[in-house]
């Protein structure tokens, strides 16, 4: 199964429309999704799209008779948070240093004892004021 | 004009540039204790002067050959630094190797700068597309502790909700003041200019110069933020953010750098000590550098002919 990071990056327009629909009206079977998204899309196209979203971990599904019924595996807010998180991680960890200035170096290897020592210095200074 | 003549000028450019760059990179840490303004100015000069000097020396040599001061017709015992009579450089494998190595290094560095900028811009654009609004301070819904300023044309502060929740109000104000100072001083533009100048730096010198420039810039922005808030608030925000990032790293794989830890301690201690920025010294340094460069160039012009001949004898 693909990671959420990958899924969030490549979520296409149709997949996004399907997710929006299911957040509003789940659970839905493939035929219902086809009807609500637009009848001109082939049944097999939507079945493939829903299956892909399921494999990405964005949808859950239950079998009702011979057909699957789909519902979101994450709510909209959680999805948005994870999408943003997926955009933040490479920015901070995969060498975007050239285009940004960070308040504190993300890669700074600072141990707890060192931080406590600095905190004591700050506290002493605050007391002197 | 013969294209092979350019090899000789290329050798001079490489030798003058590399020698000056290495010497200045050696000098930067020795003058750094005079304050972050001095350190930043010195790092900038260490990147700029080698390019200026190497270009000026090559220009003087080239102009001399064009106005006919060169002695190509009477001195045949060496290769000439002359646009018209420098064909013999093509028979000097070491000279071809020096110029080829120089060009390869500059090209590789330029490619690295371009790639990292394009990748970085794409990552920033990707984050921006996920956020709503167009504010200069973007609150990013994230569990990670970070605060960065990004964007050359429209610099924006991206700060996480985790940082918003973790910092005290005075620390929050101090952190934003620090980032706002980066924007006000156009630091991202200056760093890009530095990167372009460092394309021509001596091997390893570029790393040392960039590190010094960035450390000095961070300390200057800390001092700016301390003036608008308080030194304790800036220092406390630094420690608070570093702790949050250290906790996040327990569950993530990221490259660790001891340099960052040393810089954090230096920044906090400088703030609490109220260390001087060293601006008067930085101004004096700029004056001395300007005067020295002008003097060197004036001497090179005054003694252009013997210098020309000496360089040819040395290299040819």
- pLDDT per residue over B46-79, tens digit each? 999 999 989 988 888 888 777 766 566 565 566 7
Please report the pLDDT score of residue B34 as a whole number: 74
ipTM score for this prediction: 0.75
Residue B249, Cβ neighbours under 10 Å: how many? Answer: 18
Enumerate residue ranges in chain A where pLDDT < 50: 1-2, 4-5, 7, 10
pLDDT > 70 in chain B, percent: 89
Tell me how far apart the alpha carbons of residues B153 and A120 are, in angstroms, rounded to a whole number: 40
Q: Which of B129, B148, B254 sits opposite A102 (nearest CB)?
A: B148
pLDDT at B229: 94
Q: What is the pLDDT of residues B82-121, one digit of tens each?
A: 777 666 777 788 888 988 999 999 999 999 999 999 999 9
Distance CA B249, CA B263 (A): 18
Higher pLDDT, B222 or B265: B222
Cβ contacts of A96 on chain B, cutoff 8 Å: 116, 119-120, 123-124, 150
Contact call for B235 and A101, based on CB within 8 A: no
Restricting to A residues 88-117, those with a Cβ less than 8 Å away from any Cβ of B are 88-112, 114-115
Alpha carbon distances (Å) from B276 to B39, B186, B262, B299:
12, 22, 19, 36
Residue B267 and residue B222 in contact, taking contact as beta carbons nearer than 8 Å: yes
CB B194 within 8 A of CB B213: yes
Residues of A in contact with B117 (CB under 8 A): 98-99
pLDDT surpassing 80 at residue B19: yes
CB B142 to CB A103 under 8 A? no
């Amino acid at each position: 199964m693909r990671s959420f990071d990958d899924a969030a990056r490549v979520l296409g327009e149709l997949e996004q429309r399907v997710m929006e629909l299911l957040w509003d009206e789940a659970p839905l079977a493939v035929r219902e999704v086809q009807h609500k998204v637009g009848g001109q899309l082939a049944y097999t196209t939507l079945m493939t799209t829903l299956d892909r979203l399921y494999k990405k971990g964005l949808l859950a599904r239950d079998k009702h008779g011979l057909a699957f019924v789909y519902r979101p595996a994450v709510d909209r807010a959680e999805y948005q948070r994870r999408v943003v998180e997926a955009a933040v991680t490479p920015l901070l960890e995969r060498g975007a240093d050239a285009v940004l200035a960070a308040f504190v170096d993300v890669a700074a290897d600072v141990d707890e004892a060192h931080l406590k020592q600095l905190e004591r210095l700050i506290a002493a200074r605050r007391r002197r004021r | 004009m013969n294209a092979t003549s350019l090899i000789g000028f290329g050798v001079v450019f490489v030798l003058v540039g590399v020698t000056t760059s290495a010497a200045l990179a050696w000098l930067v840490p020795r003058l750094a204790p005079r304050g972050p303004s001095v350190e930043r100015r010195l790092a900038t000069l260490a990147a700029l002067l080698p390019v200026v000097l190497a270009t000026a020396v090559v220009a003087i040599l080239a102009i001399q050959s064009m106005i006919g001061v060169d002695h190509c017709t009477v001195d045949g015992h060496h290769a000439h630094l002359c646009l018209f009579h420098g064909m013999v450089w093509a028979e000097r494998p070491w000279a071809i190797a020096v110029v080829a190595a120089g060009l390869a290094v500059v090209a590789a560095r330029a490619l690295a700068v371009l790639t990292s900028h394009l990748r970085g811009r794409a990552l920033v654009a990707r984050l921006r597309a996920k956020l709503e609004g167009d504010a200069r301070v973007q609150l990013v819904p994230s569990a990670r502790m970070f605060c960065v300023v990004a964007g050359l044309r429209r610099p924006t502060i991206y700060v996480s909700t985790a940082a918003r929740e973790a910092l005290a109000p005075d620390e929050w104000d101090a952190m934003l003041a620090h980032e706002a100072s980066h924007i006000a001083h156009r630091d991202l533009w200056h760093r890009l200019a530095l990167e372009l100048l460092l394309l021509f730096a001596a091997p390893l010198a570029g790393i040392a110069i960039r590190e010094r420039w960035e450390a000095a810039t961070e300390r200057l922005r800390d001092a700016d933020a301390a003036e608008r808030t308080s030194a304790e608030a800036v220092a406390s925000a630094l420690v608070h953010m570093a702790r949050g990032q250290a906790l996040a790293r327990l569950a993530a794989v990221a490259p660790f750098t001891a340099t960052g830890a040393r810089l954090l301690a230096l920044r906090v201690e400088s703030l609490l000590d109220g260390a001087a920025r060293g601006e008067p010294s930085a101004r004096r340094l700029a004056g001395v550098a300007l005067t020295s460069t002008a003097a060197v160039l004036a001497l090179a012009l005054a003694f252009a002919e013997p210098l020309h001949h000496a360089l040819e004898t040395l290299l040819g």
